[in-house]
Chain A
Amino acid sequence: MGHVSRRLSSSLAVSTAHLKHFPPREATLRTKKATFDPETWAALQPPPPSALMAFANRIGLRAVLTTPTAVQRACTHKSFLDLHARYYPLSPPPPNNANLAVLGNALMGLFASEHLHATYPHLPTRVLKAAVSAHVGPLTCAGVAQEMGAVPLLRWHRQPATPTSPALLHSEALASIPRALAALVYQERCLASARKFVHSFFLNRRVDVRAMLKFRDPKRALMETVAKFQREPPKSRLLKETGRFSNSPIFVVGIYTGADKLGEGFGSSLKMAEYRAAEDALHRLYLTRTPPHVLKLPSSTFGEHADIYKLTDAAPYSPGELGESEALYASSGRSGVLAPRRRAPEVES
């Protein structure tokens, strides 16, 4: 099997039944100038309508994506336009998913951040951002597109890095497909349906938020956090120990504020156990989650069958608790925001 036929059979959904002319005239023309590249030709052909409708049925959006052209639009990346214009300059440019992908990205960011913030009200901002990226970021979108089976339907063209833009990767082109689908659901139906789509494909995935919490100095962070909650300063106490002067000691240390134990940690040295106890205390605070039956999302105030420009009768909504923001330390009084440099005022002589 040659390279072209192998690639055609494995990665591209190409069949010839739906094409108007096969074999293409360019393949059989014998002139000195004309060169026919079967690989490029295969990449330019649209996928068969049966594959497109099978995809729409597979992801459960048959009612939203009613025609093969709608699915094709969602699966065409904007990098494909250059390639198409080069070989078919006279035909109109195919509809692409650039606008839909931007809208869908914004919608997914909205749904993911409101869901995560409502689920973990006390999570630090940087960890919330990392969790949102893990749920609806570019790599996750590409993975979901692969799981949906959109890889043979994607039409794109690899672009090398230019001085103004980075190189276009396959995962980036794939990621545009679920985003475009979210935007299509929003356009054809309503905000609530788009939220349901994003929840079922992205926000039901299990992501380990605990692994994203890393501290530079957990003892100091705990001290600042306890001061923010206006409690007594934390004190470390030795709960259990064994083998103190042996080669494998174990210490269990608890950090207390007054009579309450904030966290517990074990280690092979006193310092290590105290470090882990401080981390445990902060984990217990930051990873407090809202139970699903209590969870209320702000976008539910738009009501069913509504978009953001039309207000309908909103369902009764009681906001969840607003957590304390993370206590900053060692920031030298700056919040991490870069302020523009102020020039020294010119002295008038």
Chain B
Amino acid sequence: MFRPPRLPFGLSSRCRTYATRKPEKPPARFPDPLKNDSNAVVTVLQDDSNLTFIYRPPPSVPSPHSTTLDPASPLLKSPTPSNGSGGPFPPLLRPSSYKPEPERVSREVIEKIRELRLSEPGTYSRTKLAKMFNCTPNFISKIAALRRPQRKQFRGKLEAEHVAVRERWGERKATVVAIRQKRREFW
């Protein structure tokens, strides 16, 4: 039940209060990170010195130094067996990673895609074929790549459209895009 803020009993009889007073909040108590650390290893010495050793590993990147006797890359070591007892993993970066992989297409379907794509690349575009056969446009590019002159032609058309769009940008937009591209170089 909501209790309106009141002064303590002794004071309320002696002085005026106002309804516009700000509500009193209890003093903020923050959990001590030194006490609430799950990574800390606490060792209490049993002898009469009464000492407690607390080891807290730093939250920093593991050392990149790698030698052939103790490689830092798991590719050079045998893979850890992935059973259920490994514990929960951090979440995947993108929501689309949680979608199941589509079924692998069969050889006949690949031949069909190649036939359609190479016969009429204008009508049978990558996105259209991807929708027809339930795969991705990049997959279509890989299995049914066009000849080099045709690829150049399509790329030239696309580039011309993009250039036309870029011409219509104002100075501010062009500057922002240039800054973003420059930032990308420093990744």
Q: Which A residues have a C-beta under 8 Å from some C-beta of B?
A: 121-122, 225-226, 229, 231-232, 235-239, 253-254, 256-262, 264, 266-267, 270, 272, 274-276, 280-281, 283-285, 287-291, 294, 320-321
Q: Mark B50-92, 1 if CB is under 8 A from A, else 0.
A: 0000000000011010111101111111011110001001111
Q: How many residues of B are counted as interface, with CB atoms below 8 angstroms from the partner's CB atoms? A: 27
Please indicate the chain A residues that have their CB under 8 angstroms from the CB of B62 in the complex: 264
Q: Which residue of A lies closest to B148 (CB)?
A: A332
Closest Cβ–Cβ distance, residue B69 to chain A (whole Å): 6
Q: Which of A261, A272, A294 contacts B69 (CB 8 A)?
A: A294
A237 touching B92 in the complex, CB below 8 Å, given contacts A267-B187, A288-B71: yes
Q: Judging by beta carbons under 8 Å apart, are A239 and B67 in contact?
A: no
Closest Cβ–Cβ distance, residue A8 to chain B (whole Å): 49
Q: Judging by beta carbons under 8 Å apart, are A288 and B72 in contact?
A: yes
Interface residues of B in 138-187 (CB under 8 A from A): 187
* B1 interface hit (Cβ, 8 Å): no
Closest Cβ–Cβ distance, residue B145 to chain A (whole Å): 9
Q: Which B residues have a C-beta under 8 Å from some C-beta of A?
A: 61-62, 64, 66-69, 71-77, 79-82, 86, 89-94, 97, 187
Closest Cβ–Cβ distance, residue A179 to chain B (whole Å): 31
Q: Judging by beta carbons under 8 Å apart, are A284 and B90 in contact?
A: no
28 A-B pairs whose Cβ atoms sit less than 8 Å apart in the complex: A121-B68, A225-B75, A226-B75, A235-B92, A236-B92, A236-B94, A238-B90, A238-B92, A257-B74, A258-B79, A258-B80, A258-B82, A259-B81, A260-B77, A262-B74, A270-B93, A280-B64, A284-B66, A284-B71, A285-B73, A285-B75, A288-B68, A288-B76, A289-B68, A290-B67, A291-B67, A291-B69, A320-B68
Q: Which of B67, B69, B74, B79 is the most central at the interface, judged by chain A CB atoms within 10 Å of its CB? A: B74
Closest Cβ–Cβ distance, residue B83 to chain A (whole Å): 9
Q: How far is it, in angstroms, between the C-alpha of A253 and the C-alpha of B92 when the chains are bound?
A: 9
Please indicate the chain A residues that have their CB under 8 angstroms from the CB of B72 in the complex: 284, 288
Q: Which of A237, A276, A290 is the most central at the interface, judged by chain B CB atoms within 10 Å of its CB? A: A237
Q: How far is it, in angstroms, between the C-alpha of A257 and the C-alpha of B67 when the chains are bound?
A: 21
Q: Which residue of A lies closest to B186 (CB)?
A: A272
Q: Judging by beta carbons under 8 Å apart, are A259 and B73 in contact?
A: no
Q: How far is it, in angstroms, between the C-alpha of A239 and the C-alpha of B77 when the chains are bound?
A: 23
Q: Which of A225, A258, A272 is the most central at the interface, judged by chain B CB atoms within 10 Å of its CB? A: A258
Q: Judging by beta carbons under 8 Å apart, are A229 and B93 in contact?
A: no
Q: Which residue of A lies closest to B83 (CB)?
A: A259
Please indicate the chain B residues that have their CB under 8 angstroms from the CB of A121 in the complex: 68
Q: Judging by beta carbons under 8 Å apart, are B86 and A285 in contact?
A: no
A288 touching B66 in the complex, CB below 8 Å, given contacts A258-B80, A272-B187: yes
A256 touching B89 in the complex, CB below 8 Å, given contacts A276-B187, A281-B73, A288-B71: yes
Please indicate the chain A residues that have their CB under 8 angstroms from the CB of B69 in the complex: 291, 294
Q: Judging by beta carbons under 8 Å apart, are A289 and B66 in contact?
A: yes
Q: Judging by beta carbons under 8 Å apart, are A283 and B64 in contact?
A: yes
Q: Judging by beta carbons under 8 Å apart, are B91 and A237 in contact?
A: yes
Closest Cβ–Cβ distance, residue B65 to chain A (whole Å): 8
Q: How far is it, in angstroms, between the C-alpha of A266 and the C-alpha of B68 when the chains are bound?
A: 26
Q: Judging by beta carbons under 8 Å apart, are A237 and B67 in contact?
A: no
Q: How far is it, in angstroms, between the C-alpha of A288 and the C-alpha of B66 when the chains are bound?
A: 5
Please indicate the chain B residues that have their CB under 8 angstroms from the CB of A260 in the complex: 74, 77, 79-80
Please indicate the chain B residues that have their CB under 8 angstroms from the CB of A254 in the complex: 90
Please indicate the chain A residues that have their CB under 8 angstroms from the CB of B90 in the complex: 237-239, 254
Please indicate the chain B residues that have their CB under 8 angstroms from the CB of A267 in the complex: 187
Q: How far is it, in angstroms, between the C-alpha of A285 and the C-alpha of B61 when the chains are bound?
A: 16
Q: Judging by beta carbons under 8 Å apart, are B76 and A285 in contact?
A: yes
Closest Cβ–Cβ distance, residue B93 to chain A (whole Å): 4
Please indicate the chain B residues that have their CB under 8 angstroms from the CB of A274 in the complex: 93
Q: Which residue of A lies closest to B59 (CB)?
A: A240
Q: Which of A238, A272, A284, A287 is the most central at the interface, judged by chain B CB atoms within 10 Å of its CB? A: A284
Closest Cβ–Cβ distance, residue A247 to chain B (whole Å): 14
Closest Cβ–Cβ distance, residue A26 to chain B (whole Å): 60
Please indicate the chain B residues that have their CB under 8 angstroms from the CB of A272 in the complex: 187
Q: Judging by beta carbons under 8 Å apart, are A287 and B66 in contact?
A: yes
